[in-house]
Structure formats: structure tokens, C-alpha cells
């Protein structure tokens, strides 16, 4: 988004950006304070919109996943369970990964461009950690579980008497919505204040 140029040609307090970058965002630095991204109002609104939309899509996908998992586990209709388990391969991994990454990137941009920063306040840092963990768990853990569940769904469609241990699949639709709810509460109430820096001896 920005391109660093010669600092000598820039006004005091501004880190150099290209002329093209000036139209969208600039980075500023006051004495004794960290570099802060200055997003132009239209750009900031667009980033905020993408952040809210990605978070909403993320929650919606989690709700859909929870419905598919728990309906599939409790229904007496093996064909319905098979269809739901196979559908999870489509509605989970890539959509969740994309929503998580967009939410993460836009959240970092919004934090960097506001007085809250990224690691200045506890609530922002905890939100960032939750986002990183949940996004990383999609390819590292959820993907393999969903693939196994989809394979079982195909087996169940061919043989309604087939069985499998599906106890582990109940955790993602519980953990992820819970963590996202915590993140939303933190964003609204902003508890705990600033992260205090250790004083040098």
C-alpha cells in the first residue's frame, strides 16, 4: 500500500510514502511514539466494512458447521447424516480460512491506524491472538478432521450401517463460536486498559 522514499524530502514527523500512497494512507511517527498508519477516511471505512463482513461470515460459517455436525450426529436418517458430513468439506476449510485471514489483515490495519495500536491494549492483543489461533487451526487441525468426516459421509451413503468414532468433530463448532464471541465482547467493552511496559533498571 505504501512505498518508502527519501525521508529528507518529507515533512517532519512523517515517514516517507509515495505520491500514490498519499492518496490512500500515510504513516506518521511522533517523538517517542511508535509508527502509526494514517488511513484516509474512505479507505478506513472500506477496511472496517471488510472487517465486520468477514467476522460476520466467519460466525455464520461456524453456525452452519455446528448445525451440520450436531444434526448429522443426532439424526436417525443415515442419508441425511451422510449428506451433511459431505457438505462440511465444502462449507468449512477454504471459506473459514479466507474469512479468518481477511478478518486478521483488516483488524491489524485498523489497529495500526488507531490510537489502540496492535499491542498497546490487552483487549486488542487478546483479539489478535484469538484470530491467529483460530485461523491457524483451520489448515492444521480442522482440515484433516473434515476430510475424514467427508470420507465417512460417502461411506455412510453407500452403507447406512457403517460406524465411526466422531467424538473429536464436536469441538470445532463449540470452540470457534465461543472464541469469536469473546472477541466480539472485547471489541465492544474494551476491558483491562493498556499493557504496561517494564521499566528499565
Question: pLDDT tens, position by position, for the chain (201 residues)?
Answer: 444 444 444 444 444 444 444 556 666 555 455 677 788 999 999 999 999 999 999 999 999 999 999 999 999 999 999 999 999 988 899 999 999 999 999 999 999 988 899 989 999 999 999 999 999 999 999 999 999 999 999 999 999 999 999 989 999 999 999 999 999 999 999 999 899 876 655
In the block, which residue shows the cell 474512505? 42
Taking the CA atoms of 121, 124, 127 and 129 in sequence, report the sign of the dihedral they define: negative
Domain match, 69 and 125 both: yes
Query: Same structural domain for residues 94 and 170?
Result: yes
194 is written with which cell numbers? 493498556
Domain count across the chain: 2
Let me know whether 170 and 155 are in one domain: yes
Q: Are residues 101 and 126 in the same domain?
A: yes
Domain check: are 18 and 75 in the same one?
no
Question: What strands, in cross-sheet order, belong to the sheet with 25-28?
Answer: 14-15, 25-28, 36-39
Distance separating alpha carbons of residues 176 and 100, to the nearest angstrom: 11
Domain enclosing residue 6, as ranges = 1-39
Within 13 Å and on the Cβ side, how many CA atoms surround 42? 2
- If asked whether residues 182 and 152 sit together in one domain, one would say yes
Where do the H-state alpha helices sit in 75-142? 78-91, 93-112, 122-137
**Is there a domain that residue 13 lies in?**
yes
State how far the Cα of 100 lies from the Cα of 142, in Å rounded to an integer: 13
Amino acid at each position: 500500500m505504501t512505498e518508502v522514499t527519501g525521508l529528507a524530502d518529507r515533512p517532519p514527523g512523517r515517514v516517507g510514502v509515495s505520491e500514490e500512497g498519499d492518496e490512500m494512507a500515510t504513516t506518521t511517527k511522533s517523538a517517542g511514539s511508535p509508527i502509526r498508519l494514517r488511513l484516509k477516511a474512505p479507505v478506513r471505512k472500506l477496511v472496517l466494512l471488510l472487517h465486520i463482513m468477514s467476522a460476520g461470515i466467519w460466525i455464520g460459517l461456524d453456525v452452519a458447521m455446528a448445525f451440520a455436525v450436531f444434526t448429522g450426529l443426532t439424526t436417525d436418517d443415515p442419508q441425511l447424516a451422510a449428506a451433511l458430513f459431505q457438505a462440511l468439506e465444502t462449507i468449512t476449510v477454504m471459506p473459514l480460512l479466507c474469512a479468518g485471514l481477511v478478518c486478521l489483515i483488516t483488524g491489524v490495519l485498523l489497529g495500526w491506524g488507531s490510537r489502540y495500536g496492535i499491542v498497546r491494549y490487552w483487549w486488542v492483543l487478546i483479539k489478535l491472538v484469538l484470530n491467529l489461533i483460530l485461523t491457524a487451526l483451520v489448515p492444521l487441525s480442522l482440515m484433516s478432521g473434515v476430510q475424514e468426516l467427508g470420507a465417512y459421509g460417502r461411506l455412510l451413503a453407500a452403507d447406512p450401517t457403517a460406524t465411526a468414532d466422531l467424538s473429536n468433530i464436536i469441538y470445532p463448532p463449540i470452540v470457534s463460536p465461543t472464541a469469536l464471541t469473546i472477541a466480539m465482547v472485547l471489541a465492544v467493552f474494551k476491558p483491562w486498559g493498556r499493557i504496561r511496559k517494564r521499566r528499565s533498571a
